[in-house]
Amino acid sequence: MKADTEILDEVVVVAYGTATKKSFTGSATEIKGEKISLKNPTELSKALSGEVAGVQVMSTSGQPGSNASIRIRGLGSAYSSRAPLYVVDGIPFEADLSGIDPSDIASMTVLKDATATALYGSRAANGVVLITTKKGEKGKTHVEAEIKYGANMRLIPQYDVIDSPERFTELTWEGLKNYAGNRGGMDATQSAAWASKNLFQAQYGIAPIYNMWNADGAQLIDPATGRFNSGVARKYTPEKWDDYIFRTGQKLDASVKISGGNEKLTHYTAFSYLKDEGYYISSDYQRFNVRNNMSNQITPWLKATTSLAYAYMETNKPGQSDSNMNNGFQFINGMPSLFPVFERDEDGNIVKDTKIGGNKFDYGMNAGYQRPFASGINPAGALLLDKDEIVSHQFNGNGSFEAKFLKYFKITANVGLQYLGSAENELTNPYYGDSAGKGQIAKYQTNYLNFTANQILSWGQSFDKHNFDAFVAHESTSSKTSVAYGSKSKIVRPDNTEWSNGVIMDYLESYTYGYSIESYFGQLRYDYDNKYFLHGTVRADGSSRFAKGNKWGIFGSVGAAWAITNEDFMKDVKWLKNLKYKLSWGVLGNQDFITNPVVAGYYPYEDLYTIDNLNDEFTFSFKFKGNPNLTWERSTTINTGIEFNIADVLEGEVEYFHKKTTDMLFMKQVAPSLGYASYPVNDGALVNKGVEFSLTAHLLNKKDYKFDFRLNGGYYKNEMTQMPIDETTGTEKPIEISTYYGWAKGHSLYDFYIREYAGVDPETGFALYNQYYNVKANGERELITDMETYKSKNTINKLEVEQTSDWDKATKKFVDKSGIPALQGGFGFDLYAKGITLNATFSYGIGGYGYDYNYAAIMHSGTSGSYNWHKDIEGRWQKPGDITNIPSLSNDYGGGADGTNYANASSTRFLTSRSFLNLANVRIGYSLPKSIVAKLHLSDLNFFISGDNLLYWSARKGYVSMASSGNSDNVNDDNKNDSGESGRSQYAPLSTIMGGIKIQF
């Protein structure tokens, strides 16, 4: 453990420079590269899980190479980006984070409040993550080689579904029996007979080809018990789908680093290779990295530095996106256990594939029948025949010159260039599935180029106990993205992704978009006698995203800190090693509008059209309504807190923040009769506030034995304080619906606005929902179907509630449940004992609710064979008088108008606690004693075993609230990752176990 004075004098990376920990007035947390190296992340942002108070890490996908979604201090906007700004070696970074090798990182600093981030102006409203790569140091050349090998798997539990074909068939029979009684008016005996007769008849039941038993469908079930008759035997046992969709993937990570230097020149060079296979078959990621960082002290007053990095990446990710019907994840939960992976003949024998050889996969189009679930689809087969491969080249180059003059002055010129070129090839096979009979090749080419240059004139000088430093600067940023895509079909070779392999041109499109920012900014820092610290910043940004007259925004901050333990009156308080109070205020901006189409976010002041072909003449179709009056979204933030160290045993910090976002970038909904459904405005206000804490207890601190325990957490509250104006009334809109949520004054962005589930009708077995009535003064009752809209137009005299089986007539309302967890954070420990290290980090969330879409789907009452069931279905209603919360099985017949089935309609029934606990990482390592290492002519030799995401607990097995709902094709869907919803294409995080060796000499 470091001494207290050493910790306080430690230099941390901050915006456009460095600062000592004791002098910093803002809110920032630094994670050293040594901490990152304890984990096994392929991508940097996942290493932050559980490490920093105020940082939430949401896994967007288990696909190797995918980036996590990061939130710093909750949700600060509705329609604009909530993602932080990343800065690599001093230059804002907008390329692919997964192209950076985590082992090249010296530190990551998370900047949270306005004082820490305001120098980045319009791009810092959601916080900043500073990434500093390793540099060479003066001294002998140092060589480090590391190799890690292990496995990726899914250890996070899956939903507990019906896995017995017999039990699934019995439940299907019961659904048919109830259907006959409810809709056909049959008595119990007639209903049972009808269900048996139609169980394996395609019109009402399941296609007879899927009868896997040695008896006719009508003879399978005992109508008295609803169970299989004795003596019925299987002709075959269906394969388990997860055996053909999931696997144990391999992971290999190897690197060599060479660094060193002298008084004039320091260097760092690194090479690394990664092969990372996901547990989803055919999903993998390969990356080759090379990095070179150099610093040259040309003269005593002139220094030059360069940082050059290249990454080559290959990604394979077939059958994952929401739009892909061959998505295998939905099959794991949804495919009834009755249906086999391979096609069977009438005797139950596997059919051989005469087209491609081997066993024939069952695509649900067998013997003239269609499988009720996903007819025409088989991801187990498609994963072997289809392709979705991406090849990317990424270059990141930074360079700088630093010149000192007149003793106290310094001028620095920095340039940064980022390039990312990606070529994606999608092949859909010509044999089965979506493109049977023709095949299709789709290509997507994306080229991204970003150039940033800044010039900084700085000054620093001390006058007795008065210490000053300041700078003024200019920065220009230009970014351009070019996209080209197209498709050809009727392919010749089934595995060739070149367009020359196709005959028919389906479509061909391209477009280019970009932005530029011009900035002027400055900073002044002052401290008196290392006791009182002041910090002020100002920045002016001009953005191409806004029309003339609205381009420029002025942002800035002021901060102060008081090092209380440096006061003379504290010198006798020996047990209090550090006590600092800090306070800051600032204004930040946001220009990153999330729109559909993506291009509109770069030109939101313009009306956009698409060009179409009509009889070989061009036509224009309206696409997006722009607003030339649009300008910056602004966030005003107050931050205050204390930092402390008690007897070198307990150290930490506690902070409170209050952030108000005004002039929000908002897509205002309007009447479709205008020719568009919404248009961008600056309107509405949102408050995000909370408390964060970070604690470290040094419980044991001996020469050969050390033990630290750490804990961090954050509580957040999110509230709309002003809604956009409704142009038809001239007043604030009462509510705006966003899927399951209602945006309204006094509510958060994730307050659920849905129908209330009221259980099951004991007589009918139908699901019940609450409907509210306004009882007027004259006794008249008026049905309310939308509570907030009704309240905005009417006075509530008296509310009465009753139940209805018609979901469509139930009342949508706020249900006093939010999707935002009450507390999020992490904890862990670090143990050292005579060369052995044991480190563990947990991440956790407490409170909040998510809509468990996957659970809702497997608690259905749909048609025979259409979807699997969760084992909770065993608690369903079965006869009049049953008291339960689970509706009857009714073959898609329900209590709505004309028998509409609302058994699993969206309601509070499927709101599930987001509370979770995840063992994010555990690592045990051993370093050989120095005496042995020296004999081997090495400086260190370390062996280790490490695991990520090894244990996960949640409110329901299979529900993963720390992961996004699925893999979207829309790059602008990042904000959807905050909800905690489950989804049909959810690729849960990888669980990884690796062993390795690190050699240094």
Q: 270-304, pLDDT tens digit by residue?
A: 999 999 999 999 999 999 999 999 999 999 999 99
Asked if pLDDT for residue 770 goes beyond 60, the answer is yes
Asked if pLDDT for residue 81 goes beyond 90, the answer is no
Cα–Cα distance for residue pair 624/755, rounded to 1 Å: 33
Asked if omega into 628 is within 30° of 0 (cis), the reply is no
Asked if pLDDT for residue 83 goes beyond 70, the answer is yes
Q: How far is CA 733 from CA 144, 263, 767, in A?
A: 61, 66, 32
Instruction: Kindly state the DSSP code that residue 350 receives in the 8-state scheme.
Output: B
User: Is residue 374 within 8 Å of 331, Cβ to Cβ?
Assistant: yes
Query: What does the block give as tokens for 873?
Result: 């279905």
* 370 burial level (CB within 10 Å; 0-12, 13-18, 19+): middle
pLDDT band (50, 70, 90) for residue 673: confident
pLDDT value of residue 9: 67
Interaxial angle between packed helices 165-184 and 188-198, expressed in degrees from 0 to 180 and rounded to the nearest 10: 130
pLDDT band (50, 70, 90) for residue 601: very high
Lowest mean pLDDT segment, chosen from 1-15, 173-187, 193-207, 573-587: 1-15
Q: What percentage of residues in the chain have a pLDDT greater than 90?
A: 87
Asked if pLDDT for residue 971 goes beyond 70, the answer is no
Q: What is the CB-side half-sphere exposure of residue 745 using CA atoms within 13 A? A: 13
Asked if pLDDT for residue 546 goes beyond 90, the answer is yes
Q: Tell me which residue of 307, 161, 345 sits closest to 240, measured CA to CA.
A: 161
pLDDT band (50, 70, 90) for residue 482: very high
Cα–Cα distance for residue pair 891/761, rounded to 1 Å: 17
Cα–Cα distance for residue pair 318/387, rounded to 1 Å: 5
Q: Give me the domains of the chain, ranges plus CATH numbers.
A: 14-148 (2.170.130.10), 165-245+324-379+860-903 (no CATH)
Q: What is the mean pLDDT of residues 189-202?
A: 95
What is the per-residue pLDDT across 898-942, written as a single tens digit (0 to 9) for each? 889 999 999 999 999 999 999 999 999 999 999 999 999 999 999
Percent helix / strand / coil, the chain, rounded to 5: 15, 50, 35
Lowest mean pLDDT segment, chosen from 44-48, 716-720, 845-849, 940-944: 44-48
pLDDT value of residue 969: 46
Distance between start and end Cα atoms, the chain: 25
DSSP conformation letters of 685-708:
EEEEEEEEEEEEEEEEE-SSEEEE
Asked if pLDDT for residue 338 goes beyond 90, the answer is yes
pLDDT value of residue 671: 81
What is the per-residue pLDDT across 628-665, written as a single tens digit (0 to 9) for each? 999 999 999 999 999 999 999 999 999 999 999 999 99
Name 419's bridge partners: 395, 449
Name the 3-class secondary structure at 440: strand
Cα–Cα distance for residue pair 38/831, rounded to 1 Å: 13
pLDDT value of residue 3: 46
User: Is residue 746 within 8 Å of 718, Cβ to Cβ?
Assistant: no
Cα–Cα distance for residue pair 700/225, rounded to 1 Å: 65
pLDDT value of residue 942: 96
Q: Where are the beta strands (DSSP E) in 195-317?
A: 221-222, 227-228, 249-261, 265-277, 284-299, 302-316
- ∠ Cα 29 31 32 (to 5°): 140
Instruction: Kindly state the DSSP code that residue 453 receives in the 8-state scheme.
Output: E
Q: What is the mean pLDDT of residues 228-239?
A: 96
Cα–Cα distance for residue pair 400/305, rounded to 1 Å: 5
Q: How far is CA 893 from CA 183, 196, 882, in A?
A: 7, 18, 19
Query: What does the block give as tokens for 392?
Result: 């990317």
Instruction: Kindly state the DSSP code that residue 43 receives in the 8-state scheme.
Output: S
- The alpha carbon of 862 is separated from its chain's Cα centroid by a whole number of angstroms, namely 31
pLDDT value of residue 967: 53
Q: Cβ contacts of residue 674 below 8 Å, gap of 6+?
A: none
Name 941's bridge partners: 999
Asked if pLDDT for residue 137 goes beyond 90, the answer is yes
pLDDT value of residue 33: 92
Cα–Cα distance for residue pair 877/137, rounded to 1 Å: 72
Torsion, Cα 907 908 910 916, to 10 degrees, reads 150
Q: What is the mean pLDDT of residues 62-90?
A: 91
Q: Where are the beta strands (DSSP E) in 121-207?
A: 128-133, 139-153
Q: Cβ contacts of residue 555 below 8 Å, gap of 6+?
A: 118, 121, 122, 538, 539, 540, 541, 586, 587, 588, 589, 634
- State which amino acid sits at residue 160: D
Q: Which residues of 321-352 are buried (b: 16+ CB within 10 A; e: fewer)?
A: bbebebbbbbbbbbbbbbbbbbbbeeeeebee
pTM over 0.85: yes
pLDDT band (50, 70, 90) for residue 408: very high
Rg over CA atoms, the chain:
31
User: Is residue 475 within 8 Å of 453, Cβ to Cβ?
Assistant: yes
Q: What is the mean pLDDT of residues 169-178?
A: 97
Cα–Cα distance for residue pair 332/374, rounded to 1 Å: 12
- ∠ Cα 320 867 889 (to 5°): 155
Lowest mean pLDDT segment, chosen from 357-361, 893-897, 991-995: 893-897
Query: What does the block give as tokens for 830?
Result: 């670090």
What is the per-residue pLDDT across 20-42, written as a single tens digit (0 to 9) for each? 988 999 999 999 999 998 888 88
